[in-house]
Amino acid sequence: MLKLCIDEYFSSSSNLFSLYVSDPECNDCEHCHEFDELVMVESGHGIHVINGKPSYIQQGDVFYVRRDQYHFYDRLGTLKLTNLLINSQQPFRYLNNLDQLMGDLNGVSQQQPGWLMPEQRIACKSLISQLTRTGAAQPELSDAAQEVKFFNLILSINKSLHTTSRSHTKYKAYRLIAWLQSNCFEQIDWDELSHRFLLTKRTLYRQIKETTGMTPEQFIRQLRLESARMLLRTGEENITGIAFKCGFSSSNHFSACYKSVFGYPPSQERRQN
């Protein structure tokens, strides 16, 4: 598996942080890192596959990828990311016990990203910019200042994740997308979801379309196909079993949908892997 190295992404191996901005993101090769990274989705949408599990990501999402995890991005569209790279080989001098705060960035499930409102995302991006500027002349003071800024950034993100207005339409759409990801194999009752998430059915459809670039039915199909794709690559279950597990009514229908999206049938996916 490809491993991204500190020497390639940090100007010096002694630096605590580095900034990498992709516009658009084109890293569709599964990889891991020698460093940790804090990722903010600036614009666009796509599929983030981490440790073999696909997750839809959209503008405003924020998540944390540890160096022991492997991931890649798929179905990229116009995905633009801001990546704060954290040198795990250069320990903090002053900060300790950050695991809980960092873990909280990935939400309760540790798979679904956190989400920031536009004004919150802009404020956090400003903190990241300050964090990666050249520090003070004295290394000790520079390290201390950077660690303070990093702590403020993590606190700011966590505070934003817990204070977002639950009545905001965009927040409701975010929760809806998260629910659909976790329940995409089920039969979807759109009227019931409209009631559950306090959105009119028309608004619900419009928000999914604006957020994902797909109709609700296309989005559900895409989530099912991405999950099936990972099972074909990593599992041993037969194609028919995967089709039913991922919510398709028949293996023929599954194969037709798979080929229409990926350009080749699931049997070829299995052979390639």
Q: Kindly tell me if the per-residue pLDDT of 165 is higher than 90.
A: no
Kindly state whether residues 101 and 179 are assigned to the same domain.
no
- Do 185 and 242 lie in one domain? The reply is yes
Query: Which of 112, 145, 163 is the C-terminal boundary of a domain?
Result: 163
Q: What is the CATH number of the domain that holds 191?
A: 1.10.10.60
Q: Are residues 188 and 124 in the same domain?
A: no
Q: What is the pTM of this model?
A: 0.76
Q: Give, in order, the Cα–Cα distances in Å from 180 to each of 60, 114, 219, 234.
A: 18, 16, 9, 23
Last residue of a domain, one of 139, 163, 187: 163
CA distances (Å), origin 136, targets 20, 83, 90, 131: 22, 23, 18, 12
Residue type, 135: G
122-160 pLDDT per residue, tens: 999 999 988 887 554 455 557 888 899 999 999 988 888
Q: Which of 11-15, 85-89, 100-104, 195-199 is predicted least confidently?
A: 100-104
Is residue 99 domain-shared with residue 206, that is, in the same domain? Answer: no
Do 102 and 13 have their domain in common?
yes
- CA dist 255 and 273 (Å) reads 17
Shared domain for 139 and 201, answered yes or no, is no
The residue ranking higher by pLDDT, 77 or 49, is 49
Tens digits of per-residue pLDDT, 15-32?
Answer: 999 999 987 667 678 899
Question: Can you tell me the distance from the alpha carbon of 197 to that of 239, in angstroms, rounded to the nearest whole number?
Answer: 35
Candidates 71, 67, 84, 7; CA nearest to 33 is: 67
Number of domains in the chain: 2
Whole-number pLDDT of residue 37: 94
The CATH code of the domain that includes 66 is 2.60.120.280
* Per-residue pLDDT at 228: 93
Q: Residue 263 and residue 123: Cα distance in Å, rounded?
A: 41
**Where residue 110 falls among pLDDT bands split at 50, 70, 90?**
very low
Q: Tell me the residue range of the domain where 28 lies.
A: 2-163
**Are 91 and 34 within one domain?**
yes
